[in-house]
Structure 1
């Protein structure tokens, strides 16, 4: 058994695209949830508000970092 080579080939372009769209989806869910929560209900619970704000922040980070890492850095390192 040889462990010197790679065990699997990753499709970096596909991972970068899916990661970007996952980040966009998280951001949109957070933004829409916050808008609907504030307009449809008299008072949104603090936990739900924090969840939607967190989704927006994590969505932006994922949407920016995953394409950078899987689209630029890892293909150059390999």
Structure 2
């Protein structure tokens, strides 16, 4: 069986981790700055920041595991 495409798993693992880290930082900074300067944040903004934090944690945690460990072993 031939390989149809080769992926650079190291780049995807690093990129996914840094994307997750960026989302986490944006969510935390947005929430802290929003509550500090604009105390009554609308519900949609609070939900957006919390969602960014959660999504950042999930992407930052699972991206290195999936692209750095699992997929190279499966290939």
User: Considering the TM-score relative to the shorter chain, is it more than 0.5?
Assistant: yes
TM-score (ref. length: structure 2): 0.95
TM-score (ref. length: structure 1): 0.92
Root-mean-square deviation (Å): 0.9
Residues matched between the structures, number: 75
Rounded to whole Å, the distance in 2 between the matches of 1:22 and 1:47 is 22
Identify unmatched segments of 5+ residues in structure 1.
Answer: none
1:12 to 9, 12, 19: 9
- Which has more radius of gyration? 1
- Offset of residue 9 of structure 1: 0.8
Rounded to whole Å, the distance in 2 between the matches of 1:8 and 1:77 is 14
